[in-house]
Each structure stands twice: as C-alpha cells, then as structure tokens.
Amino acid sequence: MSKTRIVILGAGFAGLQVARHLKNSDFDITVIDQYNFHQFQPLFYQVATARLEPSAISFPLRKVFQQKGNVHVRMAHVKNIDTTGQRVVTDEGTFDYDELVIATGCTTNFFGNKNIEQYAYPMKSTPEAIALRNRLLMNFEDALAAKPEDLAAIMNIVIVGGGPTGVELAGAFAEMKTKVLPKDYPDMDFSKLTIYLVEGQGGVLINMSKASQAKAQEYLENMGVQLMLNTTMQDYDGKTITFKDGKTLPTHTLVWAAGVTGNVPEGIPKEILVRGNRMTVDEYNRVKGLSNVYAIGDVAYMENAAWPKGHPQLANVAVNQGRQLAANLKNVLGNKPMQAFTYKNPGTMATVGKSKAVVDLPKFSFQGFFAWLTWMFLHLMLILSVKNKLIIFIEWATSYITNDTTLRLVLLPTRKQVELAMEHHEYKQDPVLNKTPQP
C-alpha cells in the first residue's frame, strides 16, 4: 500500500517539529521552504549586531533528515494551494498531498506603507539580519569621510517597535556604541551616535509584567537609548523619518520591528482569516472549513477557554503545536482518537544587554543577572545541534570576558550572487527588487 503523503509548508519551529517527529514513521513527508536551512529567529538580532555568525543560528535541513528515506526537502516558493485537488503549486513543481501542514509563520507587517517597506530594514530572516549588519557597519565607514551636514543621518539609528526584538536590538546597539566601536574607530566621536527606540504606546515590552516593563525601560535609559514613547511614525523616504505630529528625524538606518502578519498561502479562503492574517483552527489545529489541512505556529489562530484571544506567537507555542500535531497524525494512522492541543504559558523573557534581562514566570518575575543567565540557558537549549550550541556558548563567553567580538565583517553581495539569487527564488517575491514579474 502507498504511504500517506504529508506536505509541510515551512521549516521553522513548528514545521520542523512535525517532520522530525514523523521521520521514522510510515508517512511520506515533503518539507517545502524557501531556504534550505532552519533559522533560529530569537537570535537574529545577534547576527545583525555582529555578535554571532549566521551559521551559528542556522542548520541545513538536509542534515537534519540525512538517511531518512521518507522525508524529502524541497527549496521552493509556494504559489498557491488547491485544496479541492489536494495539491500545492510551487515555482519548482506541483506536490500532491493527503494531509497538508501549513507552518509558514509570519512576515513583517508594514501596514501598507510602501515607502517604509522599501527603505526600512526588517529582521524576519537570516538574509535580512545580514543586510542590517552590513548597513550598520557601513554607516561607520561612511562617517569617516562624511560632510558635517550628513553626519547626523549616518549616526542616528532608529528602531520602531518596543517589543522584545526592538528592545534587544536597542540594547545591543547601545553596547556596541560604548564597548566595541570606540576600539575599532579611535578617531571617531561616538558621542554623536544616537540610538532611538520608537514605540506607539506608553512603554516597552507591554505584554510583560509592569515590573519587567519598568526595569527594561530603566536599563535602556541608563544605556543611553533615546526612548520615544507614545510616538507614531508616518513615513520614511530613506533619509528622513516623518512622525504623525509633524516632527522629523534624519537617519539612514531605520529598523522596522513594529508588527507581523501571517504568511498565508494563496488558495486559503479569506473568510477564515482573523486579525493578524492568521488562519482559524480548531483544538486539533485543523483549518476551519477545509479537509485534511492543518495550520500550526504563528500563522494559526486557536481560541479556547484559556486563550480566548488566541495563543501568543512564540517559539514555544509553535514547538508544542508541532509535536502535538505529529502525535495526532500518528493517532489517525493507527485509528486512535486525536488529542486536543493545550498550552500552559511557561513565561516570557527578553534581554537588554550584558547581565541585563527580564523574566516573567506564571507566578513571579525577576530581573537582572540571574534573569540574563536564565535567558541564555533556555535559548541555548532550543538551538538545534550540539555543535551550534557550543559555538554560540564560546562566542557569548568570549564576548562576556572581552566586551568584544571578532565578527564585524562587511560581506556585500557580488553581481554573481545577485544573479544567482534572482535565478533561485530569493528576489522573486520581493515587491521592491522585483518590479517586473518573473516567468
């Protein structure tokens, strides 16, 4: 008898968990992703600030599934899903399925502002983190020969969004300013380097406890970060930010961390989508109104008594949904009942800098050095391979002792690299770089 065909869209935390827990099963599994590697998103900001190399937080998918004949990895962009014919259409061919798992995660939400989309630096993938690192390092090379009237725009770094990503980036930039860059550029006055954190609400980390919010804000202010709270951006032309109150701020570096939206493939009915462009699912992660289609992770929206507004878009939720779905697919194959997904929040955390972090557990919160150790330990445990864990630990230990790293490399793409990217997916979906539809 032929095996049940499972197609998994996305190899993030959720999709990878399903595939890993089914790799020795009687299913025939195809994993489709635009990249051939798994990315550890919580540490993108450390790649962007030259603390870690991209290879330290990435792991080749084919390495994960070596010698597993029932798992096939395909590097492709999904064009649409034919839920009636049960097939996925990609730019690399069509894949038929018996069960479809959508684990496509989220992408940056620019809220319809095309200028911000074109000129700002998002950070939802490894290539985007590398681009931000290059922009940041090139700023200081440009500053050496800049005219006085151009210096302010070069030396202003603006981050929009006061969530964990924005706070962690701001703290990392502030540490670079005081501990790293003066060593690299002894002839430059870094008192002129200003880091702004723009947030539309009245505080940072608004989804955490009041104590953690206050401590994170205190950390940032003491580190020299300029907080612009209750402030909303209106536009950006690549050189100057315009705020809704009419004020302006010159900058060549705008980091956009102000929101996400679900990556929903074409072919999914619009009526099942909810706020944040997430797909409505039941307690078994089955997509509402569709047969043999599941959604897990950030792109899924599941309401229950404990989570009436849906689960938070966190790695831990994605990992647990992936594991539960894999178990349920095995149950279906063995004619056993499926088990409903339940989630107990283990807590949230964010780091602001060396020995500075905030942790919220279900019953209490704590901040400072031990919170920072907790943050490091839990993130290391989530890294996929022992080798990567070791590399990251060594880099963190070295940075802790020396207040420095050796990773500040500007690696700009060559013409051939751009041509290769155009040929193999990378820019085909980019509305800015790809003005003309690709064949």
Q: What's the CATH code, domain 114-258?
A: 3.50.50.100
- Asked whether the predicted pLDDT for residue 435 surpasses 50, the reply is no
Provide, rounded to the nearest whole percent, the portion of the chain with pLDDT above 70. 96
**Residue reference for tokens 């849906």:** 310
pLDDT confidence band for 425 (50 / 70 / 90): low
4-108+261-333 topology per CATH: FAD/NAD(P)-binding domain (3.50.50)
What would the DSSP string read from start to end of 350-403?
EEEETTEEEEE-SS-EEESHHHHHHHHHHHHHHSS-HHHHHHHHHHHHHHHHHS
Share of the chain above pLDDT 90, in %: 82
Q: Whose CA is closest to 409, among 6, 35, 30, 47?
A: 47
Q: Locate the domains of the chain by residue range.
A: 4-108+261-333, 114-258
Phi, psi of 159 (to 5 degrees): -115, 125
pLDDT tens digit string along 234-281? 999 999 999 999 999 999 999 999 989 999 999 999 999 999 999 999
What integer best gives the mean pLDDT of the chain? 91
Ordered strands of the 356-360 beta sheet: 348-353, 356-360, 365-367
Q: What is the mean pLDDT of residues 309-330?
A: 95
What's the predicted TM-score (pTM) here?
0.91
pLDDT tier at 48 (50, 70, 90 boundaries)? very high
Mind listing the pLDDT tens digit for each residue in 345-401? 889 999 999 999 999 998 899 999 999 999 999 999 989 888 999 999 999 999 999
Q: Cα 187 to the chain's mean position, in Å?
A: 36
Helix, strand, coil % over all residues of the chain, rounded to 5: 35, 25, 40
Q: Per-residue pLDDT tens for 80-107? A: 999 999 999 999 999 999 999 999 999 9
Please report, in angstroms and rounded to a whole number, the separation of the first and last CA atoms in the chain.
38
Q: Is the pLDDT of residue 409 over 90?
A: no
One-letter amino acid identity for 196? Y
Task: Give dist(CA 254, CA 252) in Å, integer.
Answer: 7
Those residues whose C-beta lies under 8 Å from the C-beta of residue 78, and which sit 6 or more positions away, are: 9, 32, 88, 89, 90, 104, 265, 266
pLDDT given at position 426: 53
What is the C-alpha separation between 168 and 349, in angstroms, rounded? 11
Fold agreement (4-108+261-333, 114-258):
yes
The mean pLDDT of 35-40, rounded to a whole number, is 93
How many Å apart are CA 334 and CA 346, to the nearest integer? 31
pLDDT in tens, 330-351: 999 989 999 999 999 889 999 9
Between CA 263 and CA 265, with CA 264 as vertex, the angle to 5 degrees is 115
Residue 434 pLDDT exceeds 80: no
Three-state secondary structure of 335-346: CCCCCCCCCCCC
| Cα separation, 425 vs 331, whole angstroms | 36
| Non-local CB neighbours of 396 within 8 Å, separated by 6+ positions | 376
Place of tokens 């009526």: 271
